[in-house]
Amino acid sequence: MRQKIVAGNWKMNNDLKESLKLISEVANMVTDEVNNDAVIIVAVPFTNIYALDQWKSGSEVHDKVKLAAQNCSWEESGAYTGEVSARMLKSIGADYVILGHSERRQYFAETNAQLAKKVDLALTHELIPIFCIGETLSEREKGIHFEVIKGQLKEGLFHLIKSVFRTVVIAYEPVWAIGTGLTATPEQAQEVHAYIRQLIAEGYDEETAESMSILYGGSANPSNASALFSQTDIDGGLIGGASLKSRDFTDIIKTFNA
Ligand code: 13P
C-alpha cells in the first residue's frame, strides 16, 4: 500500500505566535477526529520550524505530524548570504522539504538543474523532498503539459538511483490551479498522476512506480478532496490556503477516515 499523505504548505504566512496557535488547533482536532494512518505534514516558514518541533515533542501528535521546510539551499554551506542549508533544517526538526514549488520556480527563477542539486543535498541530510511539478495555464493550453512534466521529473529527480528515488514524494500542482480556486477536475488530475507513474515505470520499474506517493495540489479543499483522493493514482494532497484553517485542514485529512 502506498503511503497516504496530507501536507499543508503554509507558504509565507503565520508569525511564531500564529504558528503555535494553528498547530495546536490542528493537533487537537487530529487527536479527536482523525482515525486514519495518513502522514500529516506541515511545511512552515524557516523561522518557525524549531519552535514547532519543540512544541510537538511534548504533544500527542509527536509522531503523527511531521515538519517540513519550504525550500533549502543547493549548497552545503559557505558564503551564501541569506540561504538555509539542508543540514541546518534537519538539525532543528524538519523531516521533509518542499522543493521546486511553482512559486519558487516562478518568482525565484529556480531551474531543474538547481533543484536536482537541492534534492541531492536534502537526501544527504535525510530530509525527504516533496518535489513539485506542474504546468502553467499557457503550457496546458498549448497541449505541452505532459512534455513539461516529463522534463521537470527527468531533470530534477531521475538522476537518483532507484533505492533513493523511492523515498521521494512527488506533488503534481498545476500552476493554473494554485490559489485560483480553479481545481483540476479529478479526471484531469488522475490523467497526469497516471502519466507520472508511467514515466517512473519507464525510468525505473513498475514496482517503483506503484510504491511512490504522488500528491495533488491546487485549490484543494474539504469539498473536493474526497473526489480527488479517491482517484487511483492520487495518494493525498499538498494543501495551500485550506491548510491555514485548522477546521478545513483537518476535514481534508479526515477524507481518509474509514
Ligand atoms: P492552494 O491550495 O492555495 O491552491 O495552494 C496549493 C499549493 O501551492 C500548495 O503547495
- Statement: residue 213 has pLDDT above 90: yes
Please identify, by atom number, the ligand 1 atom nearest to the C-alpha of residue 43: 10
Please identify, by atom number, the ligand 1 atom nearest to the C-alpha of residue 178: 4
User: Annotated active-site positions, please?
Assistant: 101, 173
pLDDT for residue 154? 98
Site to probe by mutation for ligand 1, drawn from 11, 170, 223 as the one with most ligand atoms within 8 Å of Cβ, is 11
Contact by Cβ (8 Å): 44, 19: yes
Q: What is the CA(7)–ligand 1 centre distance, in A?
A: 10
> Percent of the chain beyond pLDDT 70?
100
- Predicted confidence (pLDDT) per residue in 37-80, tens digit: 999 999 999 999 999 999 999 899 999 999 999 999 999 999 99
Site to probe by mutation for ligand 1, drawn from 239, 244, 248, 249 as the one with most ligand atoms within 8 Å of Cβ, is 239
DSSP secondary structure, 211-251, as one string = H--EEEESS--TTTHHHHHTSTT--EEEESGGGGSHHHHHH
Contact by Cβ (8 Å): 170, 150: no
Nearest CA to ligand 1 atom 1: 240
DSSP secondary structure, 114-174, as one string = HHHHHHHHHHHTTPEEEEEE---HHHHHTT-HHHHHHHHHHHHTTTS-HHHHTT-EEEE--
Give residue 87's pLDDT band: very low, low, confident or very high (50, 70, 90).
very high
Residue 190's CB: how many other CB atoms inside 10 A? 18
Q: Which H or E run includes 18?
A: helix 16-33
Please name which of 256, 174, 243, 238 lies closest in space to residue 25, comparing C-alpha atoms.
243
- Statement: residue 14 has pLDDT above 90: yes
User: CATH classification of 5-256, choosing from 3.30.930.10, 1.10.3720.10, 3.20.20.70, 3.40.640.10?
Assistant: 3.20.20.70
- Statement: residue 173 has pLDDT above 90: yes
Please name which of 187, 118, 192, 191 lies closest in space to residue 157, comparing C-alpha atoms.
118
Is the pTM higher than 0.95? The answer reads: yes
Residue entry with cell 543540514 = 87
Please name which of 128, 3, 5 lies closest in space to residue 65, comparing C-alpha atoms.
5
Average pLDDT, the chain: 97
- Statement: residue 1 has pLDDT above 90: no
> Of how many residues is the chain composed?
258
Residues with a CB atom less than 6 Å from ligand 1:
9, 101, 173, 178-179, 217-220, 238-242
Say if strands 169-172 and 96-99 run parallel, antiparallel, or are unpaired: unpaired
Q: What is the CA(78)–ligand 1 centre distance, in A?
A: 32
- Domain coordinates of the chain in residue numbers? 5-256
